[in-house]
A = this chain, B = another copy of it.
Amino acid sequence: MDTTEPTRLTGLPSWLLTQTAAHAGRLVSEGLAGVEARGYHYRVLATLDEYGPASQADLGRRSGIHLSDLVAAINELAARGYVQRSPDPDDRRRNVVTVTDAGRRQLAALDEQLAAVQQRLLTPLDGEERAQLAALLTKLLAYHRLSS
């Protein structure tokens, strides 16, 4: 059936994962580069849009982005006017990060780009296979998320 017999290397699940992820990452980067963005930007905007304004710490936890990287990402987004960082009156340690209207428009553009990327990524898989893949990965992710 398989034209490519799995060797010890190419049969390794961890290898399959990282390789396909590399391809996915490449496609995502290409798609996002067209709108002058990268992965972190989308993750921040999407998370913000999903949960509403939040402190950077909350944002980091929800998006899975490291606090230290978040600073730069928010700087960049703020510089482009997609996001606003203002001090939290109730807690002077915190900043409240809010999406602007421009940010929401940008998010829509990114969503579109990414949807196209998913199509290109999953081309060889039919609907059922895509669902299977998503389910399996989600299961793996959920498991490893607990034991962190």
Contacts and interface: CB of A to CB of B under 8 A. Distances in A.
A23 B144 contact: yes
Copies of the polypeptide in the assembly: 2
Interface stretch (A67-75, A81-89, A96-104, A125-133): A125-133
B141 A136 contact: no
Nearest to A2: B138
Contact of A143 (B8, B13, B123, B132): B123
Task: Determine the interface band of chain A, counting residues with CB < 8 A from chain B.
Answer: 35 or more
A52 interface: no
A80 B125 CA distance: 43
A21 B18 contact: yes
Contact of A24 (B11, B17, B142): B17
Nearest to A11: B134
Contact of A43 (B9, B25, B50, B111): B9
B143 A136 contact: no
Given A124-B140, A143-B124, A50 B13 contact: no
B9 A18 contact: no
Nearest to A111: B8
